[in-house]
Structure 1
């Protein structure tokens, strides 16, 4: 069906399914040329090329012939289209600064760097430890954690080991072991924390 014969609404609706690229993907996956596909479907290579490039929308009968060649159903062409890539910008002015949940003084403040992302594969934070803050409450969670010190120095305690990280240092560790932190050397410390797992530090308070 020629594009010019379609209403704008119908044309936009068909374009959303990306039928042409799906036909092309099936053909290339079988390492098949346009002429070879034409032999199986009775369509010319030129017509198939126009379909793949979205210049022509095939009728259902034509599309069925193409589908039979590749052993797929018509639903293959009318299923959900390609997902849009996730892209979220978080402005510094939009971030909310929260404290860790402890019974005593707040050990550190943190800001989520990716809070608008509904299904993030990890959580990223900017954490700030004051010069006078006490060691945070030991906590653990599933997954892993990576810290990168951008200001000051950080004292990390985990599984019987204590390590002091200086500006520019980073660490990766299994967050299933109890861990805690504090600013070292009596100076304010800022850290980028990237956390994986269903119960990351800071959001649930360990």
Structure 2
């Protein structure tokens, strides 16, 4: 075997032993959050938000573009552009359209001013509330609340003292997550029992009967997050 061939074969073997190149995401690729939730909708411009409100209320009243344009004394072409967010109408035009739609002009801006709630509660300042478990020594501290959205989220810090008693008749709509912080409990759900210690979690359909069945180590604390659709 010639020296040249030997060198070429040696180079090929060396290539096989080298680790594969790592793949680096480009700056254009979005970061992955690990959540299965869809990305938030792209924020609309003010013109688009106003146009959507006008179209929505026009259709609610059963009016065509031509009929609303005539009632507001604007051209059908202009109204079409307003509804599609292609132009920025004057306040006078918006007032005329709002009057024709029998609605306050402020309502045209409501879609653009959508709330993005955030609730901050300093340590030890959760709101103590009364619930069914209060009667058997369960203390509930509400850790925050959201005003907007279609889903209600109720996060509680629950403390069971030495005087607390078991209670397994909780039952309500929604989904609940329990995360143990301290102590131990046998927690019942839908006829099954789960031994929860610090760091353990339990996610379940809260429409089935549930609650602490046996208080193994007291006192105990755990987070309870309840989620359900608003009416």
Give 2:137's aligned residue.
107
Give 1:160's aligned residue.
191
Q: Is 1:153–1:167's contact at 8 Å kept on the other side of the alignment?
A: yes
Q: Which has the higher contact order (CA 8 A, sep 6+)?
A: 1
SS of aligned partner of 1:22 = helix
Report the Cα distance in structure 1 between the residues aligned to 2:156 and 2:192, rounded to whole angstroms. Answer: 23
Q: Is 2:184–2:217's contact at 8 Å kept on the other side of the alignment?
A: no
Structure 2: gaps (5+ residues): 1-43, 52-72, 86-93, 99-104
How much has 1:191 moved relative to structure 2? Answer: 0.6
Task: Check 1:154–1:198 CA distance in 2 against 1; reply closer, same or farther (3 A cut).
Answer: farther
Q: TM-score scaled by structure 2?
A: 0.50
Of the three residues 164, 174, 186, the one matched with 2:205 is: 174
How much has 1:177 moved relative to structure 2? Answer: 0.9
Task: Check 1:162–1:93 CA distance in 2 against 1; reply closer, same or farther (3 A cut).
Answer: closer
Report the Cα distance in structure 1 between the residues aligned to 2:117 and 2:49, rounded to whole angstroms. Answer: 25
Task: Check 1:145–1:194 CA distance in 2 against 1; reply closer, same or farther (3 A cut).
Answer: same
Deviations 1:54-88, CA, capped at 9 Å, x for gaps: xxxxxxx9998654346559569944233131122
Q: What is the aligned residue count?
A: 146
Q: TM-score scaled by structure 1?
A: 0.55
Task: Check 1:184–1:86 CA distance in 2 against 1; reply closer, same or farther (3 A cut).
Answer: same
Of the three residues 73, 80, 83, the one matched with 1:68 is: 80
Give 2:228's aligned residue.
197
Deviations 1:132-170, CA, capped at 9 Å, x for gaps: 422025121111111011112222112221111111111
Give 1:118's aligned residue.
147
Give 2:182's aligned residue.
151
Cα RMSD, aligned residues only: 4.0
SS of aligned partner of 1:196 = strand
Greater radius of gyration (CA): 2
Report the Cα distance in structure 1 between the residues aligned to 2:173 and 2:200, rounded to whole angstroms. Answer: 23
Structure 1: gaps (5+ residues): 1-18, 27-60, 200-206
